[in-house]
Amino acid sequence: MMTETTYIQLLDLACGAFLLAGVLVLWRRDLSAIVWLFAGQGVALGALIVILGVYQGHLELVLVLVGVGVGGLRAGLLPYLMRKTLVAGGAVREIRPLVNVSTSLLVVAVLAMLAYAVAQPVIDLSPSPATQAVPIALTVLLIGFFVLVTRRRALSQVVGFLLMDNAITATAFLTTSGVPLVVELGVSLDVLLAVLVLQVLTTRMRAAFGGTDLDELRELHD
């Protein structure tokens, strides 16, 4: 059984890596680096679930298996498919985001304060180490939405959507004893399907229009 001190330290480390990966997605414009950062966040998410499973003795095996599965999907399979999409699409950088990097980082600070304010009632209701980490997950959720609405490349927007999905998963595990395995697998398969569809659409868009910049595609439509 893991000690309370070790549990808190490992949980803080996993949550810190989870948040840092989300913030760095806003900082980087290289699409390949963004995909690697998403993979790193998947590792942190899987580690977070495993830590919760090891600490909660009665759910240890189930949560550890779920954590390994989630980590393998979010850090392995999905980034692999996105890298294939990146190669097929041809674009290598996020150009002209709607909000520049400096302003984006300032927005992150505001989003973090908002997340802590929103999560405070949950923390007051059950002030455990896990629930105290909920603001981190909510911050990543808001960061993912911000990426989704401010980036121009289709792949960047998909990463924003996946950041939101990671944050929702983290919140579910931090606020409960873990979601049922069937539910987690169902959500993960939905996300996998979305990425597979993205890969097909990006390949077709690249072949038909020569790029995947959303503004350029709007101009073609007009």
Q: Does residue 100 belong to any structural domain of this protein? A: no
What are the pLDDT digits (tens) for 35-67?
999 999 999 999 998 888 888 765 556 667 777
Contact 139, 105 (CB under 8 A): no
Residue 206 confidence (pLDDT): 54
Q: Does residue 181 belong to any structural domain of this protein? A: yes
- Say what percent of the chain tops pLDDT 70: 74
Q: CA 25, 100, 164 angle in degrees (round to 5)? A: 35
**pTM for this prediction:** 0.82
Q: Does residue 101 belong to any structural domain of this protein? A: no
Contact 118, 155 (CB under 8 A): no
Q: Does residue 104 belong to any structural domain of this protein? A: no
Which residue, chain included where needed, has tokens 């980036």? 151
Sorting pLDDT into bands at 50, 70 and 90, what band is 2?
Answer: confident
Q: Which two tokens stand for residue 197?
A: 């569809």
Count of domains in the chain? 1
Q: What is each CA distance from 64 to 2, 51, 67, 158, 197, in whole angstroms? A: 14, 8, 5, 27, 30
Q: Supply the range of the domain harboring residue 35.
A: 4-94+110-221
The 3-class SS string of 170-198 reads HHHHHHCCCCCHHHHHHHHHHHHHHHHHH
d(CA 130, CA 11): 8
Q: Does residue 103 belong to any structural domain of this protein? A: no
pLDDT at 158 over 90: no
Concatenate the DSSP letters of all residues of 90-134 into one string. Answer: ---B--S-SS-HHHHHHHHHHHHHHHHHHHHHHHHHS--TTGGGH
Q: Which residues contact 186 (CB under 8 A, 6 or more apart)?
A: none
Q: Does residue 172 belong to any structural domain of this protein? A: yes
d(CA 105, CA 178): 31
Contact 165, 47 (CB under 8 A): no
The residue that leads in pLDDT, 126 or 182, is 126
Q: Does residue 209 belong to any structural domain of this protein? A: yes
pLDDT at 28 over 80: yes
3-state secondary structure of 213: strand
Instruction: State the average pLDDT over residues 140-155.
Output: 89
Contact 85, 194 (CB under 8 A): no
Dihedral (Cα; 125, 129, 134, 139), 10-degree rounding: 140
Q: Does residue 136 belong to any structural domain of this protein? A: yes
User: Residue 86: which of 199, 214, 204, 215 has the closest Cα?
Assistant: 199
